[in-house]
């Protein structure tokens, strides 16, 4: 039996909704063997980020080398990378191991406003990491910061996607969670020549902590299983939609999403009607 494997290179969220924890839960739910290289420890809950403790670059790279030298991986997802030095090291390791199914979630700022990427690291991300991304998954503020243009209207989102592709990114998913005034959330996939829209009803909830991490991890899981990018994005959109809709209502602030909701829905749909 072939076992699909995925590696997440990201920060730890003690609250379990975002970061490494969200990624590993998502991999597991999608039947992908998950591995991790932790870049930073955050003390975090649904109310915000209380502390950030980056790991030394050598510690990050040694975790990656441990996997590269033994288990190998079918896909990589990057999340909170925190510094220019960590980005440079990660980019070098992606090249060294020839890992090409790479999803870059350009994590910059947590919902509560905490900076998860240092200001001087944005340039390193653009110049060193983006050229190696098979899929880049910016939210609207991240797309603005990376592309250097306003990203509000549909046409602005398309223009930003074209600019990001110019850095060497093969596919850009412009996520639409931050769009205001619409009952539909549209994620736009750009493949270097055209756009595909993935739309779903907007869920009106405050429990959206970790949506970006979970979505990108689900894309990486699909790629690890050999899916094409469009198929992996379509499944990821279903996965995050279920996770937001079937909310767990945990914590006093922005609660985590429900990582088992997608699997439970599939199981319910497969069950004979009288058994439900």
Ligand X SMILES: Cc1ncc(COP(=O)(O)OP(=O)(O)O)c(N)n1
Q: Which residues bind ligand X (CB under 6 A)?
A: 10-11, 13, 18-19, 42, 44, 79-80, 107, 110-111, 116, 209-213, 254
* Residue 205 is among the residues annotated as catalytic for this protein: no
Q: Nearest distance from residue 154's CB to ligand ADP, in Å?
A: 14
CB atoms inside a 10 Å sphere around CB 223: 28
List C-alpha distances in Å: 80 to 30, 90, 125, 184. 22, 12, 11, 28
Q: Based on the shown chain and the rule CB under 6 A, indicate whether residue 232 belongs to the binding site for ligand ADP.
A: no
Nearer to ligand ADP, 88 or 244 (CB): 244
Instruction: Report the residue number, 13 or 88, with the smaller CB distance to ligand ADP.
Output: 13
Catalytic annotation, pick one of 16, 79, 89, 212: 212
Stretch that binds ligand ADP, among 9-17, 27-35, 163-171, 234-242 (CB under 6 A): 234-242
Positive or negative torsion for Cα 131, 90, 75, 40: negative
200 binds, among ligand ADP, ligand X, none (CB under 5 to 8 A by kind): ligand ADP
Kindly tell me which residue out of 215, 221, 232, 242 binds ligand ADP, with binding defined by CB under 6 A. 215
Among residues 8, 132, 208, 227, the one that binds ligand ADP under rule CB under 6 A: 208
Of 94, 81, 79, 86, the closest CA to residue 57 belongs to 86
Minimum CB distance to ligand ADP, residue 70 (Å):
32
> Which tokens is 42 given?
């955050």
Residue among 19, 42, 213, 235 flagged as catalytic: 213
User: Residue number with the shortest CB distance to ligand X?
Assistant: 19
Question: Concatenated DSSP letters for 202-214?
Answer: PP--S--BTHHHH
* Known catalytic membership, residue 78: no
Rounded CA separation 207/9 (Å): 24
Catalytic residue among 16, 68, 210, 255: 210
Q: Are 42 and 55 in contact (CB under 8 A)?
A: no
Q: Tokens 């199914």 appear where?
A: 101
Q: Which does 209 bind (CB under 5 to 8 A by kind): ligand X, ligand ADP, none?
A: ligand X
What is residue 273's DSSP assignment?
G
196 as an active site residue: the answer is no
Contact 89, 212 (CB under 8 A): no
Taking CA atoms, 2 is separated from 8, 75, 105, 116, in Å, by 20, 14, 27, 36
Among positions 10, 88, 187, 256, the unique one binding ligand ADP when judged by CB under 6 A: 187
- Size, binding site for ligand ADP by CB under 6 A: 18
Nearest to 200 by CA among 242, 158, 232, 263: 242
The interface partner of residue 168, options being ligand X, ligand ADP, none and the CB cut-off 5 to 8 Å by kind, is none
Contact pick of 84, 224, 240, 261 for ligand ADP (by CB under 6 A): 240
Task: List strand residue ranges (DSSP E) for 145-191, in order.
Answer: 171-174, 184-190
Which residues contribute to the site for ligand ADP (CB under 6 A)?
139, 175-178, 185, 187, 200, 202-203, 208, 211-212, 215, 237, 240-241, 244
**Catalytic amino acids?**
175, 208, 210-213
């Amino acid at each position: 039996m072939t076992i699909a494997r995925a590696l997440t290179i990201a920060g730890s969220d003690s609250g379990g909704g975002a970061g490494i924890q969200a990624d590993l839960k998502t991999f597991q739910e999608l039947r992908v063997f998950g591995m991790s290289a932790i870049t930073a420890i955050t003390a975090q809950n649904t109310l915000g980020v209380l502390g950030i403790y980056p790991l030394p670059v050598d510690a990050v790279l040694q975790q990656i080398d441990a996997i590269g030298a033994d288990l190998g991986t079918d896909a990589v997802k990057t999340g909170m990378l925190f510094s220019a030095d960590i980005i440079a090291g990660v980019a070098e390791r992606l090249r060294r191991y020839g890992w090409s199914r790479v999803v870059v979630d350009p994590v910059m700022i947590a919902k509560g406003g905490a900076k998860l990427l240092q200001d001087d690291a944005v340039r390193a991300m653009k110049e060193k990491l983006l050229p190696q991304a098979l899929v880049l998954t910016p939210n609207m503020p991240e797309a603005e910061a990376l592309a250097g243009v306003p990203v509000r209207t549909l046409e602005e989102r398309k223009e930003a996607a074209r600019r990001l592709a110019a850095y060497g990114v093969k596919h850009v998913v412009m996520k639409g969670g931050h769009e205001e005034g619409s009952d539909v959330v549209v994620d736009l996939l750009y493949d270097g020549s055209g756009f595909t829209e993935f739309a779903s009803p907007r869920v009106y909830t405050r429990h959206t902590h970790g949506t970006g991490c979970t979505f990108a991890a689900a894309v990486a899981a699909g790629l690890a299983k050999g899916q094409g990018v469009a198929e992996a994005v379509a499944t990821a959109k279903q996965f995050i939609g279920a996770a937001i809709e079937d909310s767990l209502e945990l914590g006093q602030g922005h609660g985590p999403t429900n990582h088992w909701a997608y699997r439970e829905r599939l199981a319910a749909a497969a069950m004979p009607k009288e058994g439900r």
